[in-house]
Structure 1
Amino acid sequence: METRELRYFVAVAEELHFGRAAQRLAMAQPPLSRAIQQLERRLGVVLLHRTTRAITLTEAGSVLLREARIALDAVEAAERRTRRAAADRPGLVLATKAGASSDLLSKLLDAYAADPCAVAVEVVLCGPGEPETLLRNGSADVALLHRPYDTTAGFDTEDLHTEQQIVVLPAGHPLADRPHVSMAEVNALPDLPLPRWPRRDGSYPPGPGPQVRDHTQLTQLITLGRACAIMPESLRARLRDDHAIVPVPDAPPVTTVIAWPADSRSKAIADLVRTAIHLQSERGSRRLDRSVDRDAAVRT
């Protein structure tokens, strides 16, 4: 398969409309249709179910869409990293979600800058899901990702911090005085749907919740009583007095990881990762010391 064919197929699979896909690719529709038919003949599978009303992906088409995105990201990443490797000034690009892991990021940058071998680090603050994309397509050398929201398959990673989640409600909501709530209770709230974040292709999943793109937009919608949100507990400090916060014990824990390309041979990346691991080790030691102090206080 050629990268040109993969780009054609991804456009059609994401738009599910040959006309819109052709417009997106700046080409005529007939050659696009012929290219997809030729791809299906060569693979010996049907990728798209076509009717007069709609186009849908077959199971084979869904697999190719996922694999084609990975392949195109790899090609794009190779181009970008090759050009950056030839740059006069070495440096790293670190991508992270805006507002997430702020304390960790600040400490990591300060500790790494103190290393005599440190290179310049450009920090790219992104929306949800974007750090993973930038790392995959070569726009970033390293990223702070958050499982289970981000996918780390194909990356080398180190876990840095795991935390529980909370639900954020408008102040005065009937659940605000509860010591905790369950995910089932949150999902059943008729007046406060969970928000819908954009998918990779820019479209939104179906559902009753409002479409959101950033944290500021989301918190304002919560204040207005139009939504609630499940968030990592560390974001508590960024919320305002007109929000209520309730723990959700059965929500999946969120683990912050530092991720980088699995085939990387960059000394700068290795040094930055080593600094992050050292910080996490120190943080764990401090937690253990505090736990020992509390136990000793209880015994006395």
Structure 2
Amino acid sequence: MELRHLRYFRAVAEELHFGRAAERLHIAQPPLSQQIRQLERELGVSLLTRSTRRVELTRAGEAYLRRTIAVLDAVDDAGHQARRVAQGLEGHLSIACVGSATYSVLPRLVRALREQLPRVEISIRGEMLAPAQLDALRNRDVDIALLRPPVDDPEVQTELVRRDRLIVALPTAHPLAGRDTLDMADLRDEDFIAHAGQGRSVMGRLLSAICADAGYAPRIRQEVSETSTLVTLVAAGLGVAVVPAPTADLDVAGVTYRPLEPATLGIDLVAAHLGDAAPPAVERALVVLRGLTP
């Protein structure tokens, strides 16, 4: 038995006329009659009663038609789904994100994806440091990583999403919170709350670099992996922090943000993925992301 036998039977059963069924199927009537008889012989039952005037379904034929329709519809639906998945219109997409982008670009991206790719299921892994995101990409645990460069893996492709200015997060009662702007020299004697070091955080390395340019090494009071925890510790008065500007979208009571001079001090946000190994939905998601950012 082949699927064509089921399609032939369905056409005859719905038309109740071999001539019309043959026209519908774009085949000649004699081969159609032969295929239906072959199906009946294989099943060992009569599906149709035939006379010179009419064709009718037997009770076995009525039952078989119901199951035939379900099978053929399921096969057709499977084909449609496979094409949607291949086109990136259906499937699953996992997105990882650094802390500051979790509170800014990520909510807008997820809303836009739900509107433009409603059949793609989206899962989110927020507050991930860049090295952890790259590991997740290589292991195919995530499909798109929103992270801070550099990315030195030749298998990982990146594109710039935006450049974020650096700002200073201070306890609201801090004397420097009354200033309009700050520079790194102003922070020489401060305790810092920093993103986790030991080579695991781009922001941690950047803090060390800009402090060195200002002529000192930062006095790190505590290191954390999550931006939300970092800001919470600043609110508690344990120190100050240098963060990307979108961190200010995380509105925590007791924290004041001030721009860091010069205004050219900033850090890039890129979208990273595994090139040709990425699921088809990745490119469609990147198109949506490009539409959200200047």
What TM-score, normalized by structure 2, do the two folds share? 0.55
> Hey, what does 2:56 align to over in structure 1?
none
Residue 226 (1) aligns with residue 227 (2): no
User: How far apart are residue 200 of structure 1 and its match?
Assistant: 6.4
2 CA distance for matches of 1:171 and 1:265? 45
Contact preservation (8 Å) 1:181, 1:248: yes
> Hey, what does 2:145 align to over in structure 1?
143
Structure 1's unaligned 5+ residue stretches are: 1-84, 285-300
Contact preservation (8 Å) 2:191, 2:219: no
Q: Secondary structure at the match of 1:209?
A: strand
User: How far apart are residue 107 of structure 1 and its match?
Assistant: 2.3
Please point out which of 268, 278, 284 is paired with 1:255.
268
2 CA distance for matches of 1:193 and 1:102? 22
Q: Secondary structure at the match of 1:218?
A: helix
Matches within 5 A, 1:51-200: 90-98=91-99, 100-115=101-116, 118-129=119-130, 130-147=132-149, 151=151, 153-154=153-154, 155-186=156-187, 188-189=188-189, 191-199=190-198
Residues 1:102 and 1:237: Cα distance change in structure 2 (over 3 Å) = closer
2 CA distance for matches of 1:277 and 1:216? 26
Specify which structure has the bigger relative contact order, considering alpha-carbon pairs within 8 angstroms and separated by 6 or more residues. 2
Contact preservation (8 Å) 1:196, 1:209: no
Contact preservation (8 Å) 1:118, 1:268: no
Residues 1:196 and 1:266: Cα distance change in structure 2 (over 3 Å) = closer
2 CA distance for matches of 1:183 and 1:122? 38
Residue 214 (1) aligns with residue 216 (2): no
2 CA distance for matches of 1:196 and 1:225? 17
Q: Radius of gyration: which is bigger?
A: 2
User: How far apart are residue 241 of structure 1 and its match?
Assistant: 3.6
User: How far apart are residue 101 of structure 1 and its match?
Assistant: 4.1
Answer 1 or 2: which has greater strand percent. 2
Contact preservation (8 Å) 2:97, 2:147: yes
Q: Secondary structure at the match of 2:222?
A: coil
User: How far apart are residue 248 of structure 1 and its match?
Assistant: 0.5
1 CA distance for matches of 2:151 and 2:129? 12
Contact preservation (8 Å) 1:196, 1:207: no
Q: Secondary structure at the match of 2:261?
A: coil
User: How far apart are residue 196 of structure 1 and its match?
Assistant: 5.0
Structure 2's unaligned 5+ residue stretches are: 1-85, 206-217
User: How far apart are residue 173 of structure 1 and its match?
Assistant: 1.6
Q: Root-mean-square deviation (CA), in Å?
A: 3.2
User: How far apart are residue 221 of structure 1 and its match?
Assistant: 2.2
2 CA distance for matches of 1:196 and 1:222? 12
User: How far apart are residue 223 of structure 1 and its match?
Assistant: 2.5
2 CA distance for matches of 1:210 and 1:133? 25
